[in-house]
Structure 1
């Protein structure tokens, strides 16, 4: 975390990693952050057409706990952990697509492990959130073995607990369902990383918003 000074006031700058395999919905999620109005997605302001992954970190300013913050989200752009991430991020989000069990497997067995490998010195201070995207694509169709084709909420929460994540959330950036709640959870957790107590949940717990 760094701090900038504006009009005599210090503004904490918080770096957030946004990890996950290509195609899970990270670009759509990021493209709609600035279109949340009064607790919901204002679809009338969302540009039409194809959404492209950002070429630079997404920066947005918020005011929480009576003070301003600046958050910078650094999304992964490759199937590998090779992006030029900041050396000391404060918070990490690992995303998967609810309609793709493979993407959850990648979140569990690739992205989580790479995060621990590259930031082992932050393992006990950096909160991690597992985020299910494309909630609007969830169905109750079953496969031949009787299991659901999509990832169910209880499965996502269980995966988050097994991954030693502090938070678990789901939303649809396309429809806006639960997006405000997820953003609120992200911003509050990020803001808490600037405090002495930090943004980690109680030991052994995984919160769901």
Structure 2
């Protein structure tokens, strides 16, 4: 907990630590860079975009939800390996992959999810995990020689999220802004709920599609 001042009165501000995992190149940096440009339910495309650099440290955001202030601290992975200096007890984890890269979904399922379980085994029963598909604007319906889709389709990603025992699945495009607001709302609500007695896990304890 941190203390802030609201209308001249001290207010306890819960701090929520969020891991943002995923292989380099899946779009994590672009997604994080766009958060400040979300306005009134959509991405403000009129704002000039600076060059996006990979995140190298924790990003902090002050958020107000239901008239209560929170501080969300996002800890992005910066390597192909699970070697960053992550907090000892994170509250919420987002595992990202690129919709245009099947390899990144494979890495999300068979590397990042397993590393998360290995490092935070004791917290798994209470920590919500989201599988997040990025670069939605790059999805095509092109097929490979075996007839399968070249890109990851929503039904496939949802199935993988269930196999990964994720609490929810969502996808968006940080470039066009498609579904960015909806994803941000879901992340915000889930993060805030981790500070309550009920916790941030889905009430039905199964993967929810966003």
Q: TM-score range by the shorter chain?
A: over 0.9
Matched residues, number: 206
Unaligned runs of 5+ in 2: none
CA contact (8 A) 1:25 1:133 kept: yes
**Alpha-carbon distance between aligned partners in 1 of 2:4 and 2:173, rounded to the nearest angstrom:** 35
- After superposition, residues 69-148 of structure 1 pair within 5 angstroms as 69-148=70-149
**Alpha-carbon distance between aligned partners in 1 of 2:3 and 2:92, rounded to the nearest angstrom:** 22
What is the match of residue 14 of structure 1?
16
CA shift for structure 1 position 203 = 5.0
**Alpha-carbon distance between aligned partners in 2 of 1:39 and 1:65, rounded to the nearest angstrom:** 17
Deviating 4+ runs (over 6 angstroms): none
* TM-score, with structure 2 as normaliser: 0.96
CA shift for structure 1 position 65 = 2.0
What is the match of residue 39 of structure 2?
37
CA shift for structure 1 position 59 = 1.0
What is the match of residue 2 of structure 2?
4
**Alignment deviations for residues 153-202 of structure 1 (CA, whole Å, 9 cap, x no partner):** 00010000000000100000011000010000001000000000000113
**Alpha-carbon distance between aligned partners in 2 of 1:12 and 1:46, rounded to the nearest angstrom:** 33
* TM-score, with structure 1 as normaliser: 0.96
Unaligned runs of 5+ in 1: none
**Alpha-carbon distance between aligned partners in 2 of 1:101 and 1:132, rounded to the nearest angstrom:** 11
**Alignment deviations for residues 92-131 of structure 1 (CA, whole Å, 9 cap, x no partner):** 0000000000000000000000000000010100000000
- Range moving further from structure 2, 4-13 or 79-88: 4-13
Secondary structure in 1 matching 2:29 = helix
1:28 equivalent to 2:30? Answer yes
CA shift for structure 1 position 47 = 2.3
**Alpha-carbon distance between aligned partners in 2 of 1:199 and 1:168, rounded to the nearest angstrom:** 14
What is the match of residue 199 of structure 1?
200
What is the match of residue 68 of structure 2?
67
**Alpha-carbon distance between aligned partners in 2 of 1:58 and 1:114, rounded to the nearest angstrom:** 22
**Alpha-carbon distance between aligned partners in 1 of 2:171 and 2:162, rounded to the nearest angstrom:** 15
